[in-house]
Chain A
């Protein structure tokens, strides 16, 4: 059962999320097939926001195992589609699991900053998502959103240009270049988000 989308229903109704593309137009595309969603991570609400932005798809989340230590939380998060990963080790088993989901046509959200950055500082991302995209043969879709300052502000998200990796086994130097391009697209989403919310009271 997709617990995640059931939990999202009140969130979606409350947030009244508006989604834009990088041309500041309303984002109307529907994501089809397997994909990795790459989102900024400035609060623990971000998975809910990402889920709302792609509410028409079942979403899986790459989640740090430290978050899932409590057995009850683990049951809930697993029901919501979270796949735990040990960030301190070579967690190839988790990567294999996420790759299989994406290959199977599912959407998996990854927060490539590697943790919560409350200052919205987006200067660096990890390369793991690129490795998964190569293995699964799926595109990477950047998204930027963060919480409105006041509860009555409408939630906004910006979805950036999809990055396709067509090389079967690129070198690590090429992966670094893909990563830099992805970061650039995420920063572009942030820039558009800031322009759209200028004068409004977002954090």
Chain B
């Protein structure tokens, strides 16, 4: 599985049908396009930390706006 597929799997598991994974592309905005709320954002960040072994700080979460931002952070580019 690619990183984006693993990320999508996490979102589907956490949000079920409440998140719009049809709009899931690197350029998708997490809030506006994917439909993520603030508690969801925290939960997803925790799940990503477990799945990918990365550690977010508070600024990361403020600056992450799109799926690509998450992928960059997972890949250690941020």
Instruction: Tell me the A residues contacting B by CB distance below 8 Å.
Output: 86, 89-93, 95, 126-128, 131, 135, 169, 171-173, 175
Contacts and interface: CB of A to CB of B under 8 A. Distances in A.
Nearest to B64: A90
B10 to A, nearest CB: 8
B15 A172 contact: yes
Interface string B6-39: 0000000111101000000000000000000011
Contact of A131 (B18, B46, B61): B46
Nearest to A94: B58
10 contacts: A90-B41, A90-B62, A92-B45, A169-B14, A171-B16, A172-B15, A172-B16, A172-B18, A172-B43, A175-B43
B43 A90 contact: no
A65 B1 CA distance: 41
A131 B39 CA distance: 9
B71 interface: no
Interface in B47-78: 47, 56-58, 61-62
Contact of B61 (A92, A127, A128): A92
Given A89-B62, A90-B58, A91-B58, A128 B39 contact: yes
A92 B46 contact: yes
A131 B43 contact: yes
A162 B43 CA distance: 23
A131 B43 CA distance: 7
B18 A173 contact: yes
B70 to A, nearest CB: 13
Nearest to A131: B43
B46 A135 contact: yes
Nearest to A173: B16
B32 to A, nearest CB: 17
Q: Which of B41, B46, B47, B56: most chain A CB closer than 10 A?
A: B46
B45 A90 contact: yes
Contacts of A89: 58, 61-62
Given A86-B58, A90-B58, A92-B58, A169 B42 contact: no
Contacts of B16: 171-173
Given A90-B62, A92-B61, A131 B15 contact: no
Contacts of B42: 90, 92, 95, 128, 131
